[in-house]
Structure 1
Amino acid sequence: MFVLDIVVVLISLIYVLVGWFTNENNARHLFAGYREMSESERKQYDIKAILKFFKPFILNLGIFTMFAYFSISFLFDYITALFVWIGIETIALAYLVVKLNEFKVNE
């Protein structure tokens, strides 16, 4: 299960790094969908508010999911920890998508 531990740590590290280094200058290149929009479509979204929500969310997701995985694998077993980790990731990322759609500026 050492490989699974490494995968969880790497994915969590990626989340933390993305949360740490995302800013207004590189957000247009990092956010899928946003980079494909025309300039007029981009103006419909408040990128500052999106980043204010996104950065701590993705940082905390990386830290919390790694902590949850290792806690559950210590208390139960790796299979249970894996399923809980996948569940947390899925629910959190689905919530992120829904929440980010609320940052559209009403004109």
Structure 2
Amino acid sequence: MASTFAVLADPHRRQILDVLRDGERPVNDLVDGLSVSQPTVSKHLKVLRDAGLVEVRRDAQRRLYRLRPGPLAEVDAWLAPYRRMWEDSLDALERRLDVIGREDGSR
């Protein structure tokens, strides 16, 4: 999973994953969407492929890339306890604000 975090640290790679979230895309769509060169996008795609975050299939002369959500599920599972911590804190804040609101309303 450490390598997944290292891969996700790059903003261009995260942008590629964001685009692929809507479905598979050819490299040219990714190049147009990122405003970087084709060789740069290809390098990022290789890193994402090696990390298991995307996969590629051939369609005649084109290569279509799509998201593989499995490694992201591992990241999500790792984040779950932190998310619960934030939710607990936000729930406590909401309860406190409700109490303050009731106190202000009774004056």
TM-score, length of structure 2 as denominator length: 0.29
Bigger share in helix:
1
Radius of gyration: which is bigger? 2
TM-score, normalization by structure 1: 0.29
